[in-house]
Structure 1
Amino acid sequence: MNTRRLAVAAAAALVLGLGATACSSDAGNGGGAGSPGTAGTATTAGGATAGAPKVSGSVTVFAAASLKESFTELGKKFEAANPGAKVTFNFAGSSALAASINSGAPADVFAAASPATMKTVTDAGGATGAPKTFVKNTLAIAVPKGNPRHVTGLADLTAPGVKVALCAKEVPCGAAALTALKAAGVALTPVTLEQDVKGALTKVELGEVDASLVYRTDVKADAAKIDGVEFPEAAQAVNDYPIAALAKAPNKDGAAAFVAYVQSPEAQQVLTAAGFQAP
């Protein structure tokens, strides 16, 4: 009788021991918050997802000239978050960039200074998905330091002897300038038409003109060399900036990641600090 009781007790102890081992195994491998398949994913700076392979390879971005300073900074931040990636930029007038893309130039992302220039790419089937507006921008009058011609508004640009530089009408900054001038009822003849906003700004820097119509962001970026004059009609010529991954992107993953990053809170802080407006 005693022998039977000892055998039953030993069997019960063995079952309890196996159960404790199983519970310990479940807690460590399947049932905890850190187990695979149950934990949430976290997004880090640069659009990378924690625990997922980061973007690698070259990411070529065609971007409007007015984005040069802010996008250069964003490119560095994106690379820091994705050590295997290298962002290469082509900054120029949006219309010229769109023409290059439609002609087959290899690029992953297009960021334009107006919906009209982006439309030339989307109409040709060159974009993946619908472009997203990521910032807005308005115009200002750039003048030499000290504003020697005492320009206070658009009407002053028609004063005798005042030389003005504008962007060409095909370029978003040129189209916006014409809209603003029309809203103000001002007609003027520029001494030069530039192919991008940086060209128009450089004319002021070099003292070749007395004023130019550029973006507020360009005035802010170049504040050490020029002054800016705000004018009310700028509110009639606000430019939306759309961005899109391109259909023939050599690095599709990189393109998608960069487009997503530009719309992230971190990137938006950089852009608004540069003078852009939130979309």
Structure 2
Amino acid sequence: MSGRRLRAALAAVVAAAGLAVSGCAPDEAPQAAADGRVTGTVTVFAAASLTESFTRIGRDFEAANPGSSVTLNFAGSSALANQINQGAPADVFASAAPAPMTTVTEAGNADGTPSSFARNQLVIAVPRGNPKGVTGLADLTRPGVKVALCTDQVPCGAAARTALDAAGVALTPVTLEQDVKGALAKVKLGEVDAALVYRTDARAATAEVTGVEFPESARAVNDYPIVALKEAPNPAGARAFVAYVRSAPAQAVLAGAGFQAP
């Protein structure tokens, strides 16, 4: 396992256990250089749909800030918000929708006002070749078509519910997943015939799935907010990472993944 993946795995274990750890080791004490660059570990809690983009952005941030290290913890935005409010150590929170971010800000755990850095839209993910011939939401109600959705409590599930309501489609999924990667995995494993996922996630898995566009997705576009956290172990790093995500190089990475401009 690479150092990055190991760090991300350790962060997820700590967060899930609800452990509150603050500060950094003496040799990793965060500090800002005279030229504005930062050092030390920057721990980022980010929505699962940001996995590919933030992994790349994290590497680029490290390259732009020698001596820094980005630890990434990916999960459903609602779960991450709860972990932060329970005291999990993190510097930055990037959510897939405003609602989980509001949970953090109302608890007084944000340092400043969150800002939107991207937008995302749903598609219907189907296996390559689209064997069931799915062309829209109504096709998901046909007999024998098994569908995965995210739970309504997480952003991808709330967006799916909005889109289905807009289309007047009543759909009973065979499984409800805790984040968009879980729903997509059901398609990739052949356990379902379709899933409502973000356009960016379908694009990242083009070797295995096809993303079917549908008009009602325009009624359920999610804004992605980001904020530095009030109890950040590395406040300078937190502010620098938030600024970097909104910079031109990071925005180009997000656009390349299929995110829309904020």
Q: TM-score range by the shorter chain?
A: 0.7 to 0.9
1:21-70 alpha-carbon deviations (Å, 9 max, x no partner): xxxxxxxxxxxxxxxxxxxxxxxxxxxx9952520111000000000000
- Tell me which residue corresponds to 2:143: 160
Over the residues paired in the alignment, what is the CA RMSD in angstroms?
A: 1.1
Inter-partner Cα distance in structure 1 for 2:184 and 2:140? 15
Identity value in percent: 72
Q: Structure 2-normalised TM-score?
A: 0.87
| 3-state SS of 1:54 partner | coil
**C-alpha spacing 1:56/1:50, structure 2 compared with 1 (3 Å):** closer
- Tell me which residue corresponds to 1:119: 102
Among 224, 233, 240, the residue aligned to 1:257 = 240
Give 4+ residue runs of structure 1 displaced > 3 Å after superposition.
Answer: none
Inter-partner Cα distance in structure 2 for 1:198 and 1:264? 26
**C-alpha spacing 1:50/1:85, structure 2 compared with 1 (3 Å):** closer
What does 1:52-131 correspond to in 2, within 5 Å? 52=35, 54-131=37-114
| 3-state SS of 1:186 partner | coil
- Tell me which residue corresponds to 1:140: 123
The amino acid across from 1:269 in the alignment is A
Answer yes or no: is 1:186 the counterpart of 2:169.
Answer: yes
Inter-partner Cα distance in structure 1 for 2:37 and 2:165? 49
Q: Structure 1-normalised TM-score?
A: 0.82
The amino acid across from 2:208 in the alignment is K
Structure 2 spans left out of the alignment, 5+ residues: 1-31
1:66-94 alpha-carbon deviations (Å, 9 max, x no partner): 00000000000000111110000000000
Inter-partner Cα distance in structure 1 for 2:121 and 2:170? 20
- C-alpha deviation, 1:240, in angstroms: 0.2
1:130-150 alpha-carbon deviations (Å, 9 max, x no partner): 000000000000001100000
Structure 1 spans left out of the alignment, 5+ residues: 1-48
Among 217, 223, 230, the residue aligned to 2:206 = 223
Higher Rg of the two aligned structures: 1
| 3-state SS of 2:243 partner | helix
The amino acid across from 1:204 in the alignment is V
| 3-state SS of 2:70 partner | strand
User: How many residues align structurally?
Assistant: 231
Inter-partner Cα distance in structure 2 for 1:112 and 1:52? 29
Among 271, 274, 277, the residue aligned to 2:254 = 271
Inter-partner Cα distance in structure 2 for 1:168 and 1:50? 44
Inter-partner Cα distance in structure 2 for 1:180 and 1:91? 25
Inter-partner Cα distance in structure 1 for 2:167 and 2:92? 36
Inter-partner Cα distance in structure 2 for 1:72 and 1:234? 26
Answer yes or no: is 1:170 the counterpart of 2:153.
Answer: yes
Inter-partner Cα distance in structure 2 for 1:118 and 1:237? 17
- Tell me which residue corresponds to 2:187: 204
Among 193, 197, 206, the residue aligned to 1:214 = 197
**C-alpha spacing 1:190/1:80, structure 2 compared with 1 (3 Å):** same
Contact persistence 1:54–1:84 (CA under 8 A): no
Inter-partner Cα distance in structure 1 for 2:124 and 2:36? 46
- Tell me which residue corresponds to 1:7: none
Inter-partner Cα distance in structure 2 for 1:260 and 1:216? 25
